[in-house]
C-alpha cells in the first residue's frame, strides 16, 4: 500500500497501535529516568547532610577542646571531664562517618557487580556474643528495652561470611532502634536444618513508627528513603536496606518486612549457612555479654615496631595506639628514611603506608625484596601495608602481587591494630575491668544493701569507665575529682554564706558534668537542679522560691557530695588492693 498521500502518512491499524505502544514506553522510560535522577539528587543532598553533620561535630568539639584547655578559669579536674566528653563526641561522629563511607563503597560495589561474599568458618554464638552487648547498649542508650529470644538448639558451627552476616543483622537492629521512640526492640533467632544447611530465621521487631503500606515496596530500592513527617528528621542515607537485600541475594537468603504504621515493624531475614559440625549455639548465654573482645587487649612489651607514613597525624595515631600496647614504636616520614632505618636496625614488625610521595610503600617493598643482602637485619620481619585503599581485591593485590605480609585499612581502631599485631606477635592478654557491680562498691555511707539502686551516692562505674575510655583513665579522673573536693566544699559554703550565687553556680555547674563523667548520675542530676535554681536567681526570675530551694537543699546537697566522694574513695581503695 502507498504510505504517503499528499502530506499525510498512512498507517495500518497495527502500525498505528505499535506507534502508540512505543510512545507509551518512551513516556514510561522518561518517567523512570526522571524518578531515578531525582532519587540520585535527593541522595546526594542527603549524603552531603550525612557527612556534614558528623563533620560539624568533629570540628566543633575539637574547637571546644582547644578553648577548654586554654581557659584559665576552668579547673584541671573539670577540664579533664569536659575534654573526655568532647572526645567521645568526636569518636562517635568519626564512626558515623565511617559507616556512611563504607555504605557508599558497598553501593558502588553493587552497581559495578563486584559485591562479594567471602565464606569462612565461624561460630554463630561467638558472633552473637560480640553483637548483642552492642545492640543492648544502643537500645538502652535510647531508653528502649532490648530482648533476645534465641533457639540455642540450632547448629552454631557453620561456614559463611560472618562479617556480612553481622552487617545485615546490625543494620536491621540499628534501624529498629533508630525508628523507635519508646518500647522495645526484640531479636529472635529460630531456624531449621535442611540437608547440610541450617537456615537461620532472624527477626527484629520494634514498637516504633512503622511504615505505611504503600511505602513497603520501595524499601529496598537504592537511594530511597521513605520520606514522611516522622523520618524526615532522622539521619540516614537510604542505603542500608539496599545493601542488606543485595547481600542476602548473594548468600541465597531473603528478607521480609511486616509493618503496622504507628505501631511497629518486623524485619525477618533468612540466611542459609553450611553446617560444619553438630555443635549447637547452646554455648551462648545472653548475659555473658561483656566477654566480647571489646575489652580484651594485648600488651606487646618492648616490641620494636616501625611506622612509615608521610602524614604526621596518621603516625601519631598509630604510635599512640602502639604505646598504649606497651610496644616500642618508631616512625619514618618517607620511604627513603624508612629504607635507611630498615637497613640499620632490626624491627619486629613494620607498618608502611602505600601512597607516599617520591618513594611509595610498594616501591619500598620492591627495593627491599630485590636487595635482600642490604636489609638482612629484617629478612624475617613482617611488612604490613597500612592504606586507605579499601576497594574490593585491594588486600589480595597488596599481599599476592606486591609481596606485603599483611594489610590494615585506614582509618583503623585500636582493636583492629591490636588484631593485626596479634597475628604476628605473641602478646600478653589483658582485659579492661568493667568495675561495676563489684559487691561493696555499690554501697555508700550507712551501707545500703548491696545492689540497691537509686541512692544519691550511687556511682555507675561501668558507664564512667566507658565515658573515660578505660579503667586507668577513669581512676585518674576520679582521683582529680576527689582532689578538689575540699576546695569545692569551701567555695560552696562561702557562696551560700555570702549569697554569692555566681560562684555557687560555678561550682555546681562543674560538679554537674564532672559527676556525670565519673558515673555519679544521680548526684549530677541533683547538681543540675541546683544549678538551674541559681540560674533563675541570677536572671531574677522566681527569686524567692529559688532562694528558698537553695537554702533548704544546702545541707542535703553537701551531704550528698560527701557521700559520693566517700563511695568513690572506697572504690579507688578497692581497685588498688585488688
> What are the C-alpha distances in Å from 145 to residues 17, 140, 485?
61, 6, 37
Which part of the chain contacts ligand ADP (CB under 6 A), choosing from 73-81, 207-215, 337-345, 516-524?
Answer: 207-215
Using CB under 6 A, which residues numbered 322 to 351 contact ligand ADP? none
Backbone angles phi, psi at 384, to 5 degrees: -115, 125
**Does the protein bind ligand ADP through residue 102 (CB under 6 A)?**
no
Is residue 509 within 8 Å of residue 531, measured between CB atoms? yes
Rule CB under 6 A: say whether 167 interacts with ligand ADP: no
The pattern of x and - marking residues 250 through 269 that bind ligand ADP according to CB under 6 A reads ---------------x----
Q: Kindly state the smallest distance separating residue 52's Cβ from ligand ADP, in Å.
A: 15
Torsion over CA: 380, 422, 98, 160 (sign): positive
Assigned C-alpha cell, 50: 550525612
Nearest residue (CB) to ligand ADP, 239 versus 338 = 239
Q: Which of these ranges, 105-113, 124-132, 202-210, 466-474, lies near ligand ADP under the rule CB under 6 A?
A: 202-210
Taking CB under 6 A as the criterion, the residue among 86, 122, 135, 179 binding ligand ADP is 179
Find the shortest distance in angstroms from Cβ 227 to ligand ADP.
8
Which stretch, 171-179, 321-329, 460-468, 501-509, contacts ligand ADP (CB under 6 A)? 171-179
Part of the chain binding ligand ADP (CB under 6 A), chosen from 13-21, 37-45, 88-96, 208-216:
208-216
* Beta carbon of residue 231, minimum distance to ligand ADP (angstroms, whole number): 4
Residues 409-428 that bind ligand ADP (CB under 6 A): none
| 90 belongs to the binding site for ligand ADP (CB under 6 A) | no
- Rounded Cα–Cα distance for residues 38 and 54 (Å): 25
Cβ nearer to ligand ADP, comparing 242 with 378:
242
State how far the Cα of 149 lies from the Cα of 190, in Å rounded to an integer.
Answer: 8
Q: For residue 168, state whether it binds ligand ADP (rule: CB under 6 A).
A: no
Number of H helices, E strands in the chain: 17, 16
- Work out whether the CA dihedral 31, 35, 40, 45 comes out positive or negative: positive
Query: Is there binding between residue 553 and ligand ADP (CB under 6 A)?
Result: no
Q: Which residues contact 85 (CB under 8 A, 6 or more apart)?
A: 467, 513, 516, 517
Beta carbon of residue 254, minimum distance to ligand ADP (angstroms, whole number): 16
Per CB under 6 A, the segment of 112-120, 218-226, 307-315, 502-510 that binds ligand ADP is 218-226
Question: Smallest distance, Å, CB 356 to ligand ADP?
Answer: 36
97 is an interface residue for ligand ADP by CB under 6 A: no
Do the bridges between strand 264-275 and strand 157-160 make them parallel or antiparallel, or are there none, so unpaired?
antiparallel
Nearer to ligand ADP, 192 or 212 (CB): 212
Residues 450-489 that bind ligand ADP (CB under 6 A): none
Judged by CB under 6 A, the residue of 241, 315, 322, 364 near ligand ADP is 241
Nearest Cα residue to 496 out of 528, 524, 530: 530
**Closest CB to ligand ADP among residues 158, 239:** 239
Question: According to CB under 6 A, which one of 124, 198, 226, 305 is a site residue for ligand ADP?
Answer: 226
438 by Cβ neighbours in 10 Å (0-12 / 13-18 / 19+) ranks as middle
- Using DSSP's 3-state secondary structure scheme, residue 521 falls into helix
Question: Given the complex with ligand ADP, which of 267 and 481 has the nearer CB atom?
Answer: 267
For position 57 contacting ligand ADP by CB under 6 A, the verdict is no
CB of 106 to ligand ADP, least distance (A): 12
Residue closer to ligand ADP by CB (options 261, 424) is: 261
Grid coordinates representing 171 are: 543494620
- Choice from 191, 236, 361, 519 touching ligand ADP (CB under 6 A): 236
Asked if 247 touches ligand ADP (CB under 6 A), the answer is no
Give the nearer residue to ligand ADP in terms of CB position, either 4 or 233.
Answer: 233
Contacts of 302 (CB under 8 A, 6+ apart): 326, 327, 328
Q: Is 206 in the site for ligand ADP (CB under 6 A)?
A: yes
Question: What is the rounded distance in angstroms from the CA atom of residue 270 to the CA atom of residue 238?
Answer: 22
Element (H or E) spanning 157, and its range?
strand 157-160
CA angle 509, 514, 519 (to 5 degrees): 130
For residues 457 and 180, give the distance between their C-alpha atoms in angstroms, rounded to a whole number: 32
Considering CB under 6 A, how many residues would be counted as binding ligand ADP? 20
Rank residues 237 and 515 by Cβ distance to ligand ADP and give the closer one.
237
Least distance in Å: CB of 259 to ligand ADP?
7
Q: Which of 231, 246, 535, 553 binds ligand ADP (CB under 6 A)?
A: 231
How is 436-483 classified by DSSP, letter by letter? Answer: TT-GGGG--TT-PPTT----TT---HHHHHHHHSSHHHHHHHHHHHHH
Residue 278, Cβ density class (10 Å: 0-12 exposed, 13-18 middle, ≥19 buried)? exposed
Q: Which span sits near ligand ADP by CB under 6 A: 151-159, 239-247, 424-432, 520-528?
A: 239-247
Among 100, 115, 169, 176, binds ligand ADP (CB under 6 A): 176
DSSP class of residue 398? I
Range list of H helices, 143-278: 162-178, 213-216, 240-251
Q: Does 203 bind ligand ADP (CB under 6 A)?
A: no
Query: How far is the C-alpha of 298 from the C-alpha of 378, rounded, in Å?
Result: 24
* Residue 100 makes contact with ligand ADP by CB under 6 A: no
Interaction residues for ligand ADP, span 124-143 (CB under 6 A): none
Residue closer to ligand ADP (CB basis): 238 or 443: 238
Least distance to ligand ADP from the beta carbon of 102, Å?
13
**Burial grade of 275 (CB within 10 A; 0-12, 13-18, 19 or more):** middle
Please state the closest distance from residue 281 (CB atom) to ligand ADP, in A.
Answer: 25
Contact (CB, 8 A) for 317 and 329 = no
Instruction: Give the chain's largest Cα–Cα span.
Output: 112
Question: Is 210:260 a contact under the CB 8 Å cutoff?
Answer: yes
Q: Which residues bind ligand ADP (CB under 6 A)?
A: 175-176, 179, 206, 208-211, 219, 225-226, 231, 236-242, 265
Amino acid at each position: 500500500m502507498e504510505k504517503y498521500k499528499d502530506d499525510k502518512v498512512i498507517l495500518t491499524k497495527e502500525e498505528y497501535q505499535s506507534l502508540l505502544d512505543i510512545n507509551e514506553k518512551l513516556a514510561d522510560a522518561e518517567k523512570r529516568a526522571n524518578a531515578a535522577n531525582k532519587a540520585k539528587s535527593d541522595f546526594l543532598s542527603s549524603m552531603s547532610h550525612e557527612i556534614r553533620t558528623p563533620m560539624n561535630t568533629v570540628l566543633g568539639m575539637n574547637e571546644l577542646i582547644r578553648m577548654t584547655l586554654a581557659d584559665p578559669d576552668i579547673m584541671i579536674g573539670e577540664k579533664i571531664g569536659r575534654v573526655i566528653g568532647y572526645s567521645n563526641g568526636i569518636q562517635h561522629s568519626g564512626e558515623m562517618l565511617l559507616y556512611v563511607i563504607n555504605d557508599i563503597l558497598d553501593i558502588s560495589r553493587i552497581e559495578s557487580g563486584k559485591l562479594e561474599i567471602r565464606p569462612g568458618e565461624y561460630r554463630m554464638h561467638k558472633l552473637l556474643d560480640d553483637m548483642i552487648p552492642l545492640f543492648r547498649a544502643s537500645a538502652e542508650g535510647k531508653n528502649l528495652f532490648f530482648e533476645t529470644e534465641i533457639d540455642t538448639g540450632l547448629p552454631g558451627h557453620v561456614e559463611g561470611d560472618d562479617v556480612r552476616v553481622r552487617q545485615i543483622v546490625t543494620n536491621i537492629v540499628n534501624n529498629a532502634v533508630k525508628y523507635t521512640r519508646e518500647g522495645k526492640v526484640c531479636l529472635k533467632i529460630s531456624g531449621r536444618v535442611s540437608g547440610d544447611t541450617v537456615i537461620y530465621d532472624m527477626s527484629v521487631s520494634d514498637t516504633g513508627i512503622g511504615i505505611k503500606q504503600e511505602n513497603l515496596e520501595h524499601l529496598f530500592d537504592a537511594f530511597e528513603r521513605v520520606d514522611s513527617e516522622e523520618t524526615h528528621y532522622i539521619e540516614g542515607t537510604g542505603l542500608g536496606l539496599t545493601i542488606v537485600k543485595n547481600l542476602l541475594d548473594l548468600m541465597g537468603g531473603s528478607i521480609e518486612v511486616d509493618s503496622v504504621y504507628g505501631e511497629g515493624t518486623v524485619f525477618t531475614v533468612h540466611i542459609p549457612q553450611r553446617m560444619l559440625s553438630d555443635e549447637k549455639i547452646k554455648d551462648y548465654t545472653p548475659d555473658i555479654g561483656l566477654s566480647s573482645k571489646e575489652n580484651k587487649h594485648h600488651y606487646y612489651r618492648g616490641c620494636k615496631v616501625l611506622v612509615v607514613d608521610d602524614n604526621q597525624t596518621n603516625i601519631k595515631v598509630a604510635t599512640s595506639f602502639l604505646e598504649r600496647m606497651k610496644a616500642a614504636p618508631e616512625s619514618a616520614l618517607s620511604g627513603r628514611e624508612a629504607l635507611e632505618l630498615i637497613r640499620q636496625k632490626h624491627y619486629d614488625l613494620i607498618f608502611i603506608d602505600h601512597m607516599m610521595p617520591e618513594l611509595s610503600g610498594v616501591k619500598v617493598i620492591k627495593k627491599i625484596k630485590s636487595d635482600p643482602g642490604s636489609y638482612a637485619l629484617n629478612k624475617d620481619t613482617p611488612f604490613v601495608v597500612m592504606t586507605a585503599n579499601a576497594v574490593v581485591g585491594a588486600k589480595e593485590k597488596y599481599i599476592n602481587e606486591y609481596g606485603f605480609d599483611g594489610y590494615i585499612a585506614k582509618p583503623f581502631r585500636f582493636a583492629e591494630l591490636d588484631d593485626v599485631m596479634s597475628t604476628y606477635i605473641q602478646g600478653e592478654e589483658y582485659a579492661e575491668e568493667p568495675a561495676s557491680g563489684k559487691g561493696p562498691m555499690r554501697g555508700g555511707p550507712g551501707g545500703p544493701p548491696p545492689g540497691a539502686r537509686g541512692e544519691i551516692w550511687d556511682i555507675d562505674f561501668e558507664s564512667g569507665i566507658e565515658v573515660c575510655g578505660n579503667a586507668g583513665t577513669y581512676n585518674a579522673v576520679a582521683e582529680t575529682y576527689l582532689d578538689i573536693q575540699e576546695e569545692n566544699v569551701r567555695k560552696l559554703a562561702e557562696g551560700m554564706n555570702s549569697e554569692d550565687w555566681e560562684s555557687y553556680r560555678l561550682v555546681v555547674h562543674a560538679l554537674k558534668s564532672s559527676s556525670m563523667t565519673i558515673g555519679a548520675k544521680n548526684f549530677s542530676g541533683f547538681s543540675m537542679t541546683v544549678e538551674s535554681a541559681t540560674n533563675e536567681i541570677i536572671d531574677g526570675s522566681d527569686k524567692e522560691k529559688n532562694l528558698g530551694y537553695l537554702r533548704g537543699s544546702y545541707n542535703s546537697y553537701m551531704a550528698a557530695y560527701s557521700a559520693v566522694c566517700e563511695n568513690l574513695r572506697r572504690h579507688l581503695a578497692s581497685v588498688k588492693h585488688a
